[in-house]
Chains A and B, each alone.
Chain A
Amino acid sequence: MAVAASVLTPGIIAFRRILFFSLVMLTTVLAMAMITSAFQQNGFTPTELILLILYTLLILWVSTSFWTATLGFWVLLRGGDKYSIGRLLPVGAAQDSAPMRTALVMPIYNEDPTRVTAGLRAIWQSLQETGRGDDFDLLILSDTRDADCWMQEEANWYRMCADFDAHGRIFYRNREKNIARKSGNLEDFCHRWGGRYRYMVVLDADSIMSGETLVRMVDMMQAHPGVALIQSPPLPANHKSLFSRILQFASNFYGDIFIWGINYWQLSSSGYWGHNAIIRVEPFVKHCGLPKLPGREPFGGEIFSHDTVEAALLRESGWEVWIAPELKGSYEELPPTLIDYAKRDRRWCQGNLQHLRMVFARGFGGLSRLYFLMGIMSYVSSPLWLLFLVLTGFEAYVQSQTMPVYFFGDNLFPVWPESYAVEMTTVLLVTLSMLFLPKIWSLILGLIRWRKIKTYGGLLRATLSVFLESLFSMLTAPVLMIYQSKFVFAILMRRSVGWPPQNRDDHRLSLWEAIQAHGEHTVIGLLAGWVSYQYVPGFFLWLIPVLAGLVLSIPISMLSSSAWVGQTARKLGLFLTPEEYQQPRVLQLLNENLQRMERDQAAVAESTDNRHVADPGVSALHLALLPNRPVKKRQRHQLRALVYQLVEEGPEKLSPAEKRHLISDPETLVRLHTMAWGGREETQL
């Protein structure tokens, strides 16, 4: 299949990128010049030279983000971008050989089956309401290893088929071996069913997408045959805890300018975020088979953050990859607490650092390398900031210990030591402005778009929310800096973390959990405060915002994990989002489904037969879906031994793999079912 021509002229692309990179470089050079002029006055010391290099790297990173937001702000002030995929004129019909069908694929791994099913039901219901539901199939691609979760997923899938009369339209498969995690899961889908579908929409376990959005994405792909991937910007939604509500507000309120800014300079060479995106199957199959990297984890082995690599491979093959800022109705969920957020960061950090090798991949263009570097920098910037702070403190200490010399040689007039406080304060103010101005841009847009600001609780509440969010992010930033620095260091020491499932449920942190997670942050904060106060009191004052975040990390983490505080803030109209102000239909459906399923589960839990192996229907369904595999004599003996162990010691003594092994064999499954009804309740898995 040949790549179709783009409607964008090279001139537009070149102009926009030259403008963007010039602004970034100009800002960096100016900031460098300021700090150099400050350091140069008394000659460079080695520490100052290191500080200059660190600052250059950091300001480059900050100004990239700042100019992306500022260009996005400019675009929105002018009413949007005519060069966005949603506004470009169609260039012709697609010439794919695959039939015009779209697969909604959701790879899952030990996720909460209730939440997964409630979300899928909402997506399916919303899709049917568009009247175009017949063009779509839904495939649940399970890599779940947990035995109980596996059977629950199957039961939920079948009930979904029955409730929506969608037998033969909604599918479920559980992989026997979860090779290559999510990317391997999708690859398996492409291998087996890739020829049936022209497009696939990749969903995460927490993804919610409205039917309208899905249909619109398909239409966009149809209209632009040269596009291989369109990423919808997912908004966080449906949160209760204060932590996730603050993040949800920030993503909603500031997200627009960043997304439009990204589109402004990336255009048809954008990225892929791994979910809530539509992909043309044919080029994906042809160009995105991921190899195993030489060496062992964390730098070798399977590619963790596969999305960035897949997007690069598509771009390098001449296909267009777009982000669609105008697409609404695409949602995801956030970790509910600061600790869960850090845990997720640990995985993402590993995935991004693994891309270091990709920067040196032969045949990749500059933009692909830049995206890999940006991903790496989003984590490496933390240890760099930490080092910058430590060295600044050290430099301040050295300066405070240096005895000034006022008279040189025969000179009668004193030479006053030159202070570079003004230059350094300017540098600090410039940096802070670049960090905070995007928030101001969003507020200005709110002022202009009066109807929109109403959905954030009105101008007053939105302004207060921005202020409180800024305060909160200022306090949590040092904690995340320490966490991410530790992660980067651990990964550089070649300690892999694996890819555990994410905690998405709201749960309030206990004092003990908070102490365990943030005890060291508090100690670091107190120690750094004492050292700086004792030896460099002037520096201590500058350091107070950082120290406050560290010292208060335990109460902040606990307080922000509370759903009650989050809901109280909502009642007060703080951190309100348009989705909370007026819930979109698809989120209404999600919540209705969740409530009904939780009610059903509670009813089932009250009855005695709430166990899957004992349930004749669930057990029969599981048996029907098991692959037909001959069991060797040795394996049969092993299975019998496991059953005896289960009877004698109970299910808690079996490992998750052993439990899975037991229910993977049809004969053993029937045996366990009979035993469960035959008075051997201890055999319940």
Chain B
Amino acid sequence: MIAPAEAVPASAPDLSAIDFGPVRTKVADYWKALRLTDEVLIGNLVEDCINRARLRVGRPSSPELLRRAIEEAQRRFDHALASAIGLPPSNDPHPLAAARAALLLTPGLSADSLFRHDASTRELKEKLEPLLPRSTPPEAPVTMTPVPLRFWLFKSTDH
């Protein structure tokens, strides 16, 4: 379980002017869009993302904080997903994106178990494997060369 970060580091910029309410709502909406349903879990993750985002904002503005918090949510989600399906760290974003798509677009799946680290995480992994997008079949190439056409009165095609 993720504990909400209580303290704000001393190095963070002064964010007292920011209204945190809309930021929290938006970040919570984002977590819901990532198929999280457990309200307590969402609340904790929201707080955690905002607290981490506070450390990274360059200028004290609400959009900047929100953007950083969303980035943090993405990072956390991807990390949890990669761990759940046993994906090794890589610069290639495609395999992780494929798993994310499968989780988010398949009806009836919830991402809550990604953060539970119990048997349900393994179940999710098993469920996701056959659902990974396979956009094209294995290639079986054949050669299809243009047929030369020759014409009377008109210029012919190249051989």
Contact = CB atoms under 8 A, between A and B. Distances in A.
Interface string A270-305: 000000000001000111111111110000000000
Contact of B146 (A173, A291, A618, A674): A291
Contacts of A632: none
Chain B at the A interface: SS class: loop
A160 B30 CA distance: 25
Contacts of A677: 26, 30, 66, 70
B61 to A, nearest CB: 10
Contacts of A281: 142
Among A196, A292, A677, the one with the most B-chain Cβ atoms within 10 Å of its Cβ is A677
A187 interface: yes
Interface in B100-159: 100-101, 103-107, 130-158
A191 interface: yes
Contacts of B30: 616, 677
A580 to B, nearest CB: 34
Interface in B50-74: 62-63, 66-67, 70-71, 74
A363 B152 CA distance: 10
Given A624-B98, A674-B67, A290 B105 contact: no
Nearest to B92: A628
A292 B157 contact: yes
B134 A168 contact: yes
Given A362-B151, A678-B67, A679-B66, A192 B139 contact: yes
A362 B150 contact: yes
B115 to A, nearest CB: 16
A158 B144 contact: no
B34 interface: yes
Interface string A650-685: 000000000000000010001000110111100000
A675 B66 CA distance: 9
A360 B151 contact: yes
Interface string A48-90: 0000000000000000000000000000000000000000000
Nearest to A287: B147
Contacts of B154: 294, 357, 360
A196 B152 contact: no
A149 B98 CA distance: 20
Given A171-B135, A193-B140, A295 B100 contact: no
Contact of B133 (A287, A616, A625): A625
A621 B97 contact: yes
B133 A195 contact: no
B93 interface: yes
Given A171-B135, A172-B135, A679-B63, A628 B140 contact: no
A677 B33 CA distance: 11
Nearest to A187: B144
Given A290-B147, A291-B146, A624 B133 contact: yes
B157 A623 contact: no
Nearest to A618: B105
A620 interface: yes
A598 interface: no
Nearest to B150: A362
A648 interface: no
Contacts of A625: 133, 135
Contact of A293 (B97, B136, B142, B157): B157
B148 to A, nearest CB: 6
A158 B131 CA distance: 9
Contacts of A192: 136, 139-141
Among B30, B141, B154, the one with the most A-chain Cβ atoms within 10 Å of its Cβ is B154
A628 B120 CA distance: 33
B93 A294 contact: no
A554 to B, nearest CB: 42
A158 B105 contact: yes
A494 interface: no
A167 interface: yes
Interface residues of B, number: 53
Contacts of A674: 67, 70-71, 74
Interface in A614-637: 615-618, 620-621, 623-626, 628
B94 A609 contact: no
A194 interface: yes
A286 B93 CA distance: 39
A666 B93 contact: yes
Contact of A155 (B103, B105, B106): B105
Among A161, A620, A670, the one with the most B-chain Cβ atoms within 10 Å of its Cβ is A620
A162 B104 CA distance: 11
A285 B131 CA distance: 33
A628 B103 CA distance: 22
Contact of B150 (A158, A190, A361): A361
Among B71, B105, B158, the one with the most A-chain Cβ atoms within 10 Å of its Cβ is B105
Contact of A679 (B67, B107, B132, B147): B67
A293 B155 CA distance: 8
Given A172-B135, A291-B149, A625-B133, A620 B101 contact: yes
A313 B148 CA distance: 11
A604 B119 CA distance: 33
A191 B146 contact: no
A289 B146 CA distance: 4
A292 B156 CA distance: 10
Contacts of B153: 360
A291 B130 contact: no
Contacts of B103: 617
Interface string A157-201: 111011100011001110000000000000100111111100000
A137 interface: yes
A353 B36 CA distance: 59
Contacts of A620: 97-98, 100-101, 104
A623 B94 contact: yes
B63 A678 contact: yes
Nearest to B67: A678
B134 to A, nearest CB: 5
Nearest to B148: A291
B97 A624 contact: yes
A195 B140 contact: yes
B119 to A, nearest CB: 24
B149 A361 contact: yes
Interface in B1-47: 26, 30, 33-34
B94 to A, nearest CB: 5
User: A-B pairs with the 6 shortest C-beta distances?
Assistant: A617-B104, A195-B140, A678-B67, A621-B101, A620-B100, A194-B142
Given A294-B154, A360-B153, A617-B104, 5 more contacts: A161-B133, A190-B142, A616-B104, A621-B133, A624-B101
23 contacts: A155-B105, A158-B101, A167-B133, A171-B136, A172-B135, A173-B135, A193-B137, A194-B141, A196-B140, A291-B148, A292-B146, A292-B157, A294-B158, A357-B151, A360-B152, A360-B154, A362-B150, A620-B100, A623-B101, A624-B97, A628-B92, A666-B93, A679-B67
